[in-house]
Amino acid sequence: MKRKIKIKNQLFIVKVMFYLLIVIAASIVTWTKHYAEGASLAILSFLFLLFLYKCPYCGYSLDFRFRIKKETPCPMCGKVISSYEKNE
C-alpha cells in the first residue's frame, strides 16, 4: 500500500529548526559571551541541515535557500519532491 508523505512539511520543519538553532546560538554569544557554546551550536545546526534537508528520492542535499512549492522538482534527479510516496 502506498501512502503519501507530506515531505514538504517535513523539510519545512527542518528549515525552521535550523533557523531557530542559529538564533539561539547568536543569543548565547551575545548575552553570555560563551563563544565556544555558541559556535558549537551553530555548527550543530549546519550539520542538522546538511544531513536532513535532502531529496527523498536520490538523497541529494538541497540548498537551504531552495524553496519547495507545490510541484518543485529535485535539481539532481528531476522528480517532484512534494509528492513523495512511500511503500508500506
Q: What is the pLDDT of residues 1-26, one digit of tens each?
A: 455 556 777 788 888 888 898 899 88
Q: Which stretch of 37-41, 43-47, 52-56 has the lowest confidence by average pLDDT?
A: 52-56
**CA proximity to 18, closest of 58, 49, 54, 50:** 49
Greatest CA separation for the chain: 53
User: What are residue 2's DSSP bridge partners?
Assistant: 87
Query: Cβ contacts of residue 44 below 8 Å, gap of 6+?
Result: 21
What is the predicted pLDDT for the residue at 4?
A: 54
